[in-house]
Amino acid sequence: MILYNKNVSFDFLDYGIQIPLYYDDWISHIQEKFPLKHREFPLINREDLERVHSKDYLDILLGQNPEIIIETTHEFTKYYDKSLQTKPFSHLIQKTLLEASGTYEASLMALQKGFCFYLGGGMHHSYKEEAHGFCVIHDVVIALQKLIALQKIKTAWIIDTDVHKGDGTAYLTFKDENILTLSIHMEKGWPLDSYPLDHKCWTPSTVDIPIPQYEENSYLNKLQEGLQKLQKISTQKGFRRPDIVMIVLGADPYEKDTLLSSQLLNLSFEQMCQRHQILLSFLKNIPQAYVLGGGYGPHSHEIFTEFAISSTPYW
């Protein structure tokens, strides 16, 4: 099923941040194919956040002056123009908490029904003690740690096919024996090229699949091999299949994506379709929750709509 909440929106421009995330009318394109039903869900709380993020960071995030986060996060300051801001940054934090709550809800639905595609989430760059990329908190790890704390699951995989490395995911789950991660991403470009080798963004995932520029044709084979490698490692650790798999889908490997930092990988629409078939086929019979991840410009809805259509037999 598709999980949709009309209050989960991505209008960064209201906060003066000029990111072309998804684009305004992307949801209407999906709605043309699927009548979306608004669904409410309970908000995650501070305890849920504290399983993943540091207290000092949460004090700033949830305190009186979360603007500090804008001022100290490079990717936000780069795209920020105060003169365009019409709403306080604290509103964005509240929206982010709602969005992350949806990711947890999606994970519950996956456990109950086997499959959920959530139209939100995938803030895979966030670290324990700071925002990174355009990601303020790490919704996927928050959801999984909550499931583990409530003893709903013991083991999980996080599979990340966004064009940018899932560096926050790797950082937050490094050495975790029960959460294994796979990231397939641009070999060069942000974030890897922007930091020295000892930076957090270089923390290895369980399986990393860096794709060199102009080797798009190897992408699908490497994804398939990487999934098999993940399963092998998982089996060695005592669980051939996890209790749940969460997938950061990402529309930004698509050749029509407009973000400057996603231009080193340009998969065709056909290749994106095949990516979805590989994921759906390999993960068959494992409870699975998909979140959006990145997607920039007026064409990202094509990828999400395609995924919604091609995944329907698995709902």
Residues at the interface with Zn ion (CB under 5 A): 162, 164, 252, 294
CB of 292 to Zn ion, least distance (A): 10
- What stretches of 121-268 show up as alpha helix (H) in DSSP? 139-149, 167-173, 219-236
Pairing relation of β-strands 207-211 and 244-248? unpaired
Task: Give the nearer residue to Zn ion in terms of CB position, either 48 or 139.
Answer: 139
In eight-state DSSP terms, residue 246 is E
Task: Give the nearer residue to Zn ion in terms of CB position, either 48 or 257.
Answer: 257
- d(CA 6, CA 119) in angstroms, rounded, equals 10
CB of 127 to Zn ion, least distance (A): 16
CB of 289 to Zn ion, least distance (A): 18
* Residue recorded with tokens 């869900």: 41
| The three-state (H, E, C) secondary structure of 47-112, written as one string | HHHHCCCCHHHHHHHCCCCCHHHHHHCHHHHHHECHHHCCCCHHHHHHHHHHHHHHHHHHHHHHHH
Contact predicate 267/275, CB 8 Å: yes
Task: Give the nearer residue to Zn ion in terms of CB position, either 167 or 252.
Answer: 252
Task: Give the nearer residue to Zn ion in terms of CB position, either 226 or 287.
Answer: 226
CB of 104 to Zn ion, least distance (A): 21
Task: Give the nearer residue to Zn ion in terms of CB position, either 117 or 134.
Answer: 134
Task: Give the nearer residue to Zn ion in terms of CB position, either 53 or 164.
Answer: 164
Task: Give the nearer residue to Zn ion in terms of CB position, either 102 or 293.
Answer: 293
Task: Give the nearer residue to Zn ion in terms of CB position, either 115 or 190.
Answer: 190
Task: Report residue 248: phi and psi, to 5°.
Answer: -90, 105
Instruction: Name residue 263's amino acid.
Output: Q
CB of 57 to Zn ion, least distance (A): 22
Residue nearest to Zn ion (CB): 294
The CA–CA distances, whole Å, from 36 to 27, 101, 115, 215, 314 equal 9, 18, 16, 37, 18
CB of 237 to Zn ion, least distance (A): 28
CA dihedral 197, 200, 201, 206 (to 10 degrees): 100
Lateral strand order in the sheet of 288-291: 2-3, 115-118, 288-291, 244-248, 156-160, 179-186, 207-211
